[in-house]
Amino acid sequence: MQSNLVKFDKSDLTNEIDCDSINENQKQNLHKLLLNKLSGILKEDLNKGINMIEKLLSKEETEAFRLELNSKISSESKATHHPMNYSRRIKSLKSCFESLPAGSVL
């Protein structure tokens, strides 16, 4: 049975890459690679990704991250519950057809 826990062995990771000796372009590429990998994990299993992030952060950083997530989720849920303003869209649509003769609209 395979464990869902991702283990980070710092010595294995840091022995492969000496971050101080690589150039800026290599650092940017490494940064993109790491972000893509983490993004893939988050897309696969959100809870697994959040657990990994919590293990990497201090308690203070984790609490700040949790507050940021909560505010982001609550602001997005508020934004999705606003009724659509169709009257403005209708006016915009009408203005598009004002200069056209009625026969060509149909």
CA torsion sign for 60, 61, 63, 68 is positive
pLDDT of residue 1: 43
pLDDT tens for the 106 residues of the chain, in order: 444 555 555 555 555 666 667 788 888 888 899 888 888 888 888 888 888 888 888 889 988 988 998 888 887 766 665 566 777 778 777 777 777 776 665 5
* Predicted local confidence at residue 79, as pLDDT: 61
First vs last Cα of the chain: how many Å apart?
64
